A and B are shown apart, each in its own frame.
Chain A
Amino acid sequence: MTDTGRGSPYAPHTAAETRSMLDAVGVDDEEALFDVPNSIRFDGQFGIDARSESATRREARRTLARNDDLVSFLGRGHYAHEIPSVVADLASRSEFLTSYTQYQPEVAQGFLQALFEYQSMLVELTGLEIANCSMHDRATALGEAATLATRVRETAGSTVLVPDLVREEQRAVLENYARGGDLSIATVPTDDGTVDIDALEGIIDEEVVMVYAENPTVRGTIEEGLETIGDLAAAHDALFCLGSDPVALALLEEPASVGADVVVGDAGTLGLGQAYGMGHGLFATREDFLRQVPGRLVGASTDQSGRRAYTLTLQTREQHIRRERATSNICTNQAWVALRTAMHVAWLGPDGLLELAEDCVRNARELAARVDEIDGLHAPVHDRHHFREFVVATDQPADAIRDRLAKEGFAVHAVDEHRLQLCVTDANEHATDRLVAALREVA
């Protein structure tokens, strides 16, 4: 059926087929197949009108057109990089899009190999030995890291230390993971945008099971004391968890080399683009923790004819086997986004990815310098190296500037009363001249 209002347009049954199937089953009509007591029978009237395909598309576009058409200079954990056309095209191949978790690996070798390659790329980028093949997002990956820490740490303890600059939304998710696991979250102060090492040294004790830091931070600053943080964590038998993303990992210090035990982040930073916060959780860790890792893992094996083959493995950690003793409840996650991330990394190659990362430093530096020249603005506020984004000080109310910029077609973040934040990537650098001109007008 292609018309609306008569039935599902995706059920292929003709009236004659429906009749013959009902006869085969031995009932008069479909209603006889529903074993539902009359007392709770519903009449099917939701009050939702059906639409033709074209009308559905038109209506959705018309509704979405209520969104203002703004060039976004927002970042703070959700980044857009230009998606190569070939990535979008290949990822849309229906075999990828319409398959499910690879419970029958013999007919899912393609997707399994792609996920194996994704895991391998994350291993290269983090320097850690294992990466799982996707989790929901950065915040939930951080929550999973905290519960991993309680499982693998030998002595008792229940505190997770996070910098005061972590996005409050991420911290809220972490609090919810902590609630079930009897963890408590404590805050490490930052100094001018990066972790205050002296303060950390004063706070950390044997109660701490995990220390979290980010590189770059939510303010775009690059941490300079990662190795010291790693040493402090190790000295107290706590895990060191680092938050990052695949672009930053291409250039900044390799997590393994600064003592990171776990890397979390948003891998969807490559391959997905802006999606109102939808992402894909990156999760890599040390081989020692292999049997405590949450989420799916793809491993290489051999098939009956001796050829290399791929399969989901170590599933005894997972909820469908171990139920309440599983390492996590994660089941359906973000595999298709992992595929897109892998494609984007492969398209860029090592030189392309490194160049993209270097541009994240250069573009932020150049834009900050241009903004700094504008009367009434000072940038960057933090005396640090920056990646993609930086904070701007203003004499005027920051939210007033933000609102006036929105009218000029730009979205920027107001950090607080007198501070703005700007994020620049290859996706919006074409508009930096216009942004600077607009800032000159409104600041």
Chain B
Amino acid sequence: MRYDQARWADDDAYEPLLVEKREAAVSPGDSEDAPLPDDLTRDSLSLPALAEPELARHYTRLSQETYGVTSGPFPLGSCTMKYNPPLLEDVAADPSAAVHPDRPVETIQGTLEVMATLQDWLGRIGGMDAVTLQPPAGAAGEYTGLLIAKAYHEDHGNDRDEVIIPDSAHGTNFASAAMAGFDVVELPSAEDGRVDMDALEAAVGDSTAALMLTNPNTLGLFERDIEAIAEIVHDAGGLLYYDGANLNALLGRARPGDMGFDVMHYNVHKTFATPHGGGGPGAGPVGVVSDLAPYLPEPHVRETADSDYELYEPERTVGKVHGFHGNWLVLLKAYAYIRRLGDAGLSDASAKAVLNANYLAEQIDLEIPYGPFHHEFVASAGDRDAIDVAKHMLDFGVHPPTTKWPELVSEALMTEPTEVESKETLDQLAAAFEAASAADAADLDDAPRRTTARRIDQVEAARNPRLSWHAFDGPE
């Protein structure tokens, strides 16, 4: 497929950079017109000044230099880059959704009804008894879940300061556990890529606060022994935490609550198609079993006897993880998405996501060392550098997979096509894999060629950090 991405910066003429449009405004200081005395105000302010048509062109050009899900396939493993239906934007743009967080509850019953409904639906989807919508992202959900685990153990007089995490887990698991004040115990994977049961037996004990797990795991493998894993952790007095990053692979087929998980987070921007927005906003609601419900963050939404909704403080609340009520507009989009799909749509989304991953893997002539997998697979670029292969894939108009992770596979290409790609697109993707991995060394070194920028010098960026346009003001 022929592909050329837009590039607007010329070699020597116009560069669409706001830095070139900077002008200074000078504070009127202590002139007669000044609203404040001189000593409480700044002297000057230098910012871009553009007429609206210039602004429109600037950002339109920047958008053309950006690859999104509507540009083409985006099989970034573990990120679940689904098509984001414009319906969700339409719903979130309703003026009635734009309310202030300090509004009295009796004046925002619509907002609270949406929240209560979403809490209920997420609970049913995850098999959880109670759900908070407050965490503003998946990692914030992890942190919230771990604060809940910590409070639960403290309440029960347990001195437990360790969280066990498989070596293949998302990096956020480790960071969240450390932030919550836990020591991390890393669990090596077994040869089949799943939890090593002997290693788990050896790792759990009186200090175990929780085991964090995603299922399917980051290799796309279902942890078949999940019930035994749950038993081991529970017998040791620990809690089981479910990282919802891979929930798209299980909708309607299995529920974390039924598997024995006590607490979980949902990545609504993954599973429920709310746009990733170039890196957020997302939302990371947390579900818990009934024993943990008293520890949820406050305020929590619930329905009253007369079909109204109220905010309350759960009895043993861990406090707050967001200044207000979380990323409300994202939650509203997730509500619209779940309603649109319903039972059949949600189950079908998983079915097609898993079919797509398996079909694509079948078309690719690279080693895929583990299986059977669900929604994503990790191929190995073999003796090629996975980053080179990925860069060359860009030349074919597709976004490459996640590279070099998880480390269990050498030169990993972690691929998650999701349910929104057609057979035809998957064939194109497979062709891009084929062409990129078969290219000669010179072509790989030179890739990408058809993108806005050629290969970027990452070492230079880190060694000589230039983080604002002031870096351009002096001699480069």
Please name all residues of chain B whose beta carbon is closer than 8 Å to the beta carbon of A25 when the two chains form the complex. 355, 358-359, 362
Whether A20 contacts B36 by the Cβ 8 Å rule is no
Please name all residues of chain A whose beta carbon is closer than 8 Å to the beta carbon of B275 when the two chains form the complex. 97-98, 336
A-facing residues in B390-449 (Cβ within 8 Å): 390-391, 394, 399-400, 402, 405, 419-423, 446, 448
Shortest A130–chain B CB gap in Å is 5
Alpha-carbon distance A95/B448, docked complex (angstroms): 20
Please name all residues of chain B whose beta carbon is closer than 8 Å to the beta carbon of A350 when the two chains form the complex. 23-25, 45-47, 49
Selected interface stretch from A155-163, A196-204, A307-315: A307-315
Given B55, B140, B171, B336, which contacts A323 in the complex, CB threshold below 8 Å?
B171
Alpha-carbon distance A302/B457, docked complex (angstroms): 6
Whether B101 contacts A78 by the Cβ 8 Å rule is yes
Please name all residues of chain B whose beta carbon is closer than 8 Å to the beta carbon of A319 when the two chains form the complex. 139, 171-172, 174-175
Alpha-carbon distance A323/B174, docked complex (angstroms): 5
Instruction: Give the total number of A-B pairs whose CB atoms are below 8 A apart.
Output: 654
Please name all residues of chain B whose beta carbon is closer than 8 Å to the beta carbon of A333 when the two chains form the complex. 136-137, 279-281
Instruction: Render B155-189 as a binary contact track against A, CB cut-off 8 A, 1 for contact.
Output: 00000000000000011101111111100100000
Whether B139 contacts A60 by the Cβ 8 Å rule is no
B196 at the interface (CB under 8 A from A): no
Alpha-carbon distance A371/B83, docked complex (angstroms): 51
Given A93, A311, A329, which contacts B461 in the complex, CB threshold below 8 Å?
A311
Whether A57 contacts B91 by the Cβ 8 Å rule is yes
A-facing residues in B73-120 (Cβ within 8 Å): 74, 76, 79, 81-85, 87, 89-91, 94, 96-104, 106-111, 113-114, 117
Please name all residues of chain A whose beta carbon is closer than 8 Å to the beta carbon of B231 when the two chains form the complex. none
Shortest B425–chain A CB gap in Å is 8
Selected interface stretch from A115-123, A205-213, A232-240, A434-442: A115-123
B366 at the interface (CB under 8 A from A): no
Whether A330 contacts B323 by the Cβ 8 Å rule is no
* Extra contacts besides A97-B275, A311-B461 (12): CB < 8 Å: A48-B343, A78-B100, A90-B59, A99-B69, A104-B391, A116-B468, A276-B98, A277-B100, A320-B170, A321-B171, A322-B175, A385-B36
Whether B41 contacts A273 by the Cβ 8 Å rule is no
Q: How many residues of B contact A (CB 8 A)?
A: 194
Instruction: Render B181-204 as a binary contact track against A, CB cut-off 8 A, 1 for contact.
Output: 100100000000000000000000
Shortest A16–chain B CB gap in Å is 9
Q: Can you offer 15 A-B residue contacts whose CB atoms are under 8 A?
A: A6-B348, A8-B348, A33-B351, A42-B258, A57-B90, A78-B102, A97-B275, A98-B71, A113-B65, A139-B323, A276-B97, A297-B465, A307-B454, A336-B277, A339-B278
Which B residue sits closest to A93, measured CB to CB? B63
A254 at the interface (CB under 8 A from B): yes
Instruction: Render A23-51 as a binary contact track against B, CB cut-off 8 A, 1 for contact.
Output: 01101001101111101111111111111
Please name all residues of chain A whose beta carbon is closer than 8 Å to the beta carbon of B420 when the two chains form the complex. 10-12
Please name all residues of chain B whose beta carbon is closer than 8 Å to the beta carbon of A99 when the two chains form the complex. 66-69, 276-278
B-facing residues in A90-124 (Cβ within 8 Å): 90-111, 113-117, 119-121, 123-124
Whether B66 contacts A108 by the Cβ 8 Å rule is yes
Alpha-carbon distance A297/B454, docked complex (angstroms): 20
